[in-house]
Structures are given as C-alpha cells and as structure tokens.
Amino acid sequence: MRKTMTLSIILAAALGCSALVLAAPGGQGFGEDGGWNGGHGHHHGLMALRGLNLTDAQKASIKQIVQQNMSQMKPQFQAVRQQRQAFEALSPSSSGYQAAAASLAQAEANLTSARITARAAVTAQIYNTVLTSAQQTQLTAQKAAFQARKAQWQQFKAEHPAQSTSTSAQ
C-alpha cells in the first residue's frame, strides 16, 4: 500500500512538472531545429517560457539573446576546458600537480560565478524586454505553483521516509 501510494505521488509530481515543459504547442522547442535550447542545457530556467504562448518575434528575440550570451561565454568555457585537460594530463607525482589543481579550482569557481551572473542577466533581459506584462504575471504564477508543489513533495518525503533497501537485501 505504501509503495503504491509513494509511486502515485511520484508520478503525479512528475506529471505536474512536465506540464510546464510540454505546455508549448506540440510540446516542442522554439524551432524545428531545436531552437535556442537545442540540447545545450545551459539555460534550464528558460524552459518555463514554453508555457507562455510566445510569438514568433518573441522566440526569435529570446534565441538571439541566448545565442549572444553563449558566444560571449564560449571563450571562458574553452579556456577552462583546456586548463582541465592540461591538469588531467599531469601525473599526480608531478611537481606542479597541486598548484595546477588549485589553479583549475579557481578557474572553475570564476567560470561558475560568470555563468550564474550571465544567466541572471539573460533572464532579466528576457523578462524586462521581451515578455509582456501578462506573460510576466503568468511566469510568476507558474513559478509560485512549482514552488508550492516542491514544498508539498518535501513535506511528503519528510512524513513518509523511504524504507531502507539494506534490510530487504539481507
């Protein structure tokens, strides 16, 4: 009974979350070619825009904003990737191994900071220059509904802790 109830809750939560993603006509991305979200995965927060009935002009503006941001961030991503590859090529017994690790860690931290800041700038630009006031209101309502579902799920998990799998393996 408990397993059936838990499974039902999990499926209901999954369906609720997927409704936002599939709210676009046909459940497709912004373009036939995958559009601005064509598998890059860098702007998951923009997925909520799919349910806002964006016009073709709005979709084009959003795609341009995101592509511009990606092209600005690309050199920094490439630099960190090269630094990571150079570090991975080092032997742990190399004299500069620890210094290279520290340098890579700092580069990764700087990239994360730049990525989060850039994502916030993209989101603000889209929100303030592309979306209508009705779409802004709808987006805010969608976000609040998602947060409420998330809180309900957290409460359910706290009230119904999962059974330990180690006892069933014995």
Query: Per residue in 45-81, pLDDT tens?
Result: 567 677 788 899 999 999 999 999 999 999 999 999 9
When the pLDDT of each residue in the chain is averaged and rounded to a whole number, the result is: 76
Q: How far apart are CA 160 and CA 116, in angstroms?
A: 34
The pLDDT > 70 percentage for the chain reads: 67
pLDDT band at residue 166 using 50, 70 and 90 as cut-offs: low
Residue at 12: amino acid letter: A
Long-range contacts at 158-161 (CB < 8 A, ≥ 24 apart): 160/2, 160/5, 160/6
Longest CA span, the chain? 60
Predicted pLDDT at 121: 93
The Cβ of residue 93 has, within 10 Å, a number of other Cβ atoms equal to 6
> How far out from the chain centre does Cα 159 lie?
28
Query: Per residue in 95-123, pLDDT tens?
Result: 999 999 999 999 999 999 999 999 999 99
Predicted TM-score (pTM) above 0.75: no
Token digits of residue 161: 């802790």
Query: Per residue in 75-100, pLDDT tens?
Result: 999 999 999 999 999 999 999 999 99
Question: In a 10 Å sphere around its CB, with 0-12 CB exposed, 13-18 middle and 19+ buried, how is residue 60 labelled?
Answer: middle
Cα within 13 Å of Cα(109), Cβ side: 6
> How far out from the chain centre does Cα 157 lie?
23
**Does the pLDDT value for residue 15 go beyond 50?**
no
Q: Which residues contact 143 (CB under 8 A, 6 or more apart)?
A: 48
Predicted pLDDT at 161: 85
Residue at 144: amino acid letter: A
Cα dihedral sign, 114-115-118-120: negative
